[in-house]
Amino acid sequence: MSSSRPFPYVGMPVSVMHLGVTEEHLVEEVLDEGRTLVVGGETFTLRRLNGWFVRREEPYYGTRLLLDSAV
């Protein structure tokens, strides 16, 4: 069975979504066994509530990081 989410790695292409704008970036650092990512100098954490990576210190519906190997 394949995983439902790609495991993040350094150099992985990702998209940052904020207020309808999408920016392409690369993962710079993977911390906390893949639950914390540094992208574009910003830290994103995996939220238990919805399973999304969201910018640290923002609410669960804040700036999202999309892991997509097809980006």
8 Å CB contact between 27 and 53:
no
8 Å CB contact between 53 and 63:
no
pLDDT at residue 2 in the model:
56
pLDDT at residue 4 in the model:
73
For residues 34, 18, 23, 66, the Cα torsion angle rounded to the nearest 10 degrees is 30
pLDDT, tens digit, for every residue of 9-62?
999 999 999 998 999 999 999 999 999 999 999 999 999 999 999 999 999 999
Task: Pick the more confident residue, 15 or 3.
Answer: 15
pLDDT at residue 71 in the model:
43
Instruction: For CA atoms 51, 48, 37, 18, give the dihedral sign.
Output: positive
